[in-house]
Amino acid sequence: MRLTPRGLWAFGRCLPVELGRGGLSDDKREGDGATPIGRHRILGMLYRADRLPAPQPWAEPIGPQDLWCDASGHPAYNLPVKAPFAASHEALHRSDPLYDIVLITDWNYPQATPGKGSAIFLHQRRRAGYPTAGCLAFRRDHLIWLASRITRGQEFLIPDLACFHRAKNTLRGSGGAKPPARDKA
């Protein structure tokens, strides 16, 4: 899998993707809204069992107590935690469908460096053109399709696409067209 100027090239398709409001960055920091450049891996998958079937046998259900710590000074920084949890965190069990499927990346995880960014996921987008806080976000049908094909440990590349540094945050693919040869992963 590889991010291209047209979208995420994965399994023979180019999927439109929303990126972080801070563009792409090779110096990711907590709260900067940037999507980190580099070679990453998918280390886990979470899903809302009350809303859809498990996309993969290794996917883990999200429950009402499931949170993700984003407090950079806390020992559980960039790790899943359970409620009640006093330090800063993000709820994984949401009323909206944003985290119905969450693909967990290896960005600063599981061994986190304080301040280098947390919760870099692949998840459902809010709407077309709406940037993320650093994640990669997809249409629901595209995310379900991707999650059903991905393997634990799957690598994906976010190259240094200079045109997306603090610029546009939406990459539009056709959903099925092949990118130019130079973009093949």
Is 165 a catalytic site residue?
A: no
The two tokens of residue 1 are: 């899998």
Q: Which of 93, 135, 142, 165 is catalytic?
A: 135
Residue 144 CA from chain centroid, whole number: 13
Q: How far apart are CA 45 and CA 11, in angstroms?
A: 18
C-alpha Rg value of the chain to the nearest Å? 16
**Residue 21 and residue 27 in contact, taking contact as beta carbons nearer than 8 Å:** no
The bridge status of strand 66-69 relative to strand 121-124 is: unpaired
Q: Which of 101, 117, 94 is nearest to 45 (CA)?
A: 101
Backbone angles phi, psi at 81, to 5 degrees: -140, 170
Rounded to 10 degrees, the C-alpha dihedral 122/123/129/132 comes to -70
3-state secondary structure of 76: coil
Q: Which of 93, 123, 142, 163 is catalytic?
A: 123
Is 123 a catalytic site residue?
A: yes
Strand-pair partners of 13: 10
Catalytic residues: 123, 135
